[in-house]
């Protein structure tokens, strides 16, 4: 599994295709995505970021008390509601290395889709987790954070 980078890379700029059936291969893919996301020090990873044009993303934010230790896998996700309140925060992306910018996102979202077992799930998220969900859904729609970021800057490699 290799990370896809570059703002003009076609798979990062395409609408991902729905997953027709949750198979053992899809479950294995999700396990591998989680492993790589952690290895790459990310909090979310969408299938297009590893070169797969599929509507799948994983997320895990370990340092927020409300969500600590909670792993999320979404297949064919849809954001079905958003708050009126918007927050600004700096974001980066594994696929756009060494760049950061300020992004406006909804404070709260409700997202639904299938989990890694093929069961329908609905999650209400707020704060940073809501931001991660929106960022990953953007990936599935061919959008990158740099498309709407203000105050873009280069960041040092650590």
Q: Domains in the chain, ordered, with CATH?
A: 10-154 (3.90.45.10)
Q: Give me the catalytic one of 88, 91, 136, 157.
A: 136
Average pLDDT across the chain, whole number: 94
Share of the chain above pLDDT 90, in %: 87
Residue 25, SS3? helix
Distance CA 79, CA 92 (A): 21
- pLDDT tops 60 at residue 1: yes
Exposed, middle or buried, 43 (CB in 10 Å: 0-12/13-18/19+)? Answer: buried
pLDDT score recorded for residue 86: 98
- pLDDT tops 90 at residue 157: no
Tell me if 109 sits within 8 A of 131, measured CB to CB.
no
Burial 124-144 (b: 16+ CB within 10 A, else e): ebbebbbbbbbbbbbbbebbb
Tell me if 145 sits within 8 A of 91, measured CB to CB.
yes
**In the annotation, is 136 catalytic?**
yes
């Amino acid at each position: 599994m290799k990370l896809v980078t570059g703002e003009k890379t076609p798979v990062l700029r395409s609408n991902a295709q729905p997953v027709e059936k949750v198979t053992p291969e899809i479950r294995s893919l999700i396990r591998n995505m989680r492993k790589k996301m952690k290895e790459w020090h990310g909090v979310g990873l969408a299938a297009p970021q590893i070169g797969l044009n599929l509507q799948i993303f994983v997320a895990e934010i370990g340092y927020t008390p409300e969500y600590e230790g909670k792993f999320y896998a979404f297949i064919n996700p849809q954001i079905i509601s958003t708050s009126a309140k918007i927050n600004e925060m700096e974001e980066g992306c594994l696929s756009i290395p060494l760049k950061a910018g300020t992004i406006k996102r909804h404070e709260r979202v409700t997202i639904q889709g299938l989990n890694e077992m093929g069961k329908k799930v609905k999650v209400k998220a707020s704060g940073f987790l809501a931001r991660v969900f929106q960022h990953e859904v953007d990936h599935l729609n061919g959008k990158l954070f740099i498309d709407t970021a203000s105050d873009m800057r280069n960041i040092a490699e650590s």
